Amino acid sequence: MVDDAAHELDRDEVAKVAGLAMLELTDEELDTFTPQLGAILAHAQDMENLDLADVAPTHHPYPLVNVMRPDVVAEDAGGPELRDAVLAAAPDVEDNRFKVPPALGGD
């Protein structure tokens, strides 16, 4: 998930990531954000210099595991009333479904 150390972020990578996040950045914005994001990543790379061999990976600040719920349908889940309320908040609806611009790809 994380690139190896000592890699300097460049403008093209920022443009690509912005595209994946569906953000349109102008050339000026790319010039501004590339060094800013680079500085943040450089800070994260400082960690690479530490000896962390004995430290377990931390995904979460809480020392919790196995937080689960029983497999029971909630009383307020589903049904026509909730459906109608949710659809009423949508910009466009057809046949009780959300109507959206044509979606390409996916399955």
Partner 1 sequence: MTNKSATKTESQELLPEGWEMVIGLEIHVELATATKLFSPAQNSFGSEPNQNVHPVCLGLPGTLPVVNEKAIEFAARIGLALNCTVQKCVFARKNYFYPDMPKDYQISQFDEPLNIDGWVDLPVAGTRIRVERAHVEEDTGKTTHVGDSGRIHDAGYSLVDYNRAGVPLVEIVTHPDIRGPEEAKEYVDEVRAMVVAVGASDGKMEEGSLRVDANVSVRPAGSDELRTRCEIKNVNSLRSIGRAITYEAKRHVNLYESGKEPIQETRHWDEEAGRTRDGRKKEDSDDYRYFADPDLVAIDPTPEWIAQIAASQPALPAQRREALVSAGADSEGAALVVQRDLDSLVLAVIEAGGEAKRVLNHATNNLAIEGAEALSPSNFADLVKMEADGALTSTQAKQVLAEMVSDGSTPADIAAKHGFEAMDTGELEATLDEIISSSPQEWERFVNEPEARGKLQGFFVGQVMKATRGQADGKLVNQLLAKKANS
What residue ranges bind partner 1 (CB under 8 A)? 1, 17, 20-22, 59-60, 62, 64-74, 76-80, 82-83, 86-87, 94-107
Question: In terms of CB distance, is 28 or 75 closer to partner 1?
Answer: 75
* Amino acid sitting at position 102: P
* Shortest CB 32 distance to partner 1, Å: 21
Helix pair angle (11-20, 27-46), 10° resolution: 100
Q: Mapping DSSP to helix (H, G, I), strand (E, B) and coil, where does residue 71 land?
A: coil
Q: Which helix (H) or strand (E) holds 93?
A: strand 93-94
Q: Which is nearer to partner 1, 43 or 59 (CB)?
A: 59
- Calculate ∠ Cα 39-40-46, nearest 5°: 90
State in angstroms the smallest separation of the CB of 60 from partner 1. Answer: 5
Which residue, 28 or 68, has its beta carbon nearer to partner 1? 68
CA nearest neighbour of 98 among 106, 90, 89: 90
Complex with partner 1: residue 47 or 100, whichever CB lies closer: 100
- Stated as kind and residue range, the H or E segment containing 27 is helix 27-46
At its nearest, how many Å lie between partner 1 and the CB of residue 105? 4
CB of 63 to partner 1, least distance (A): 9
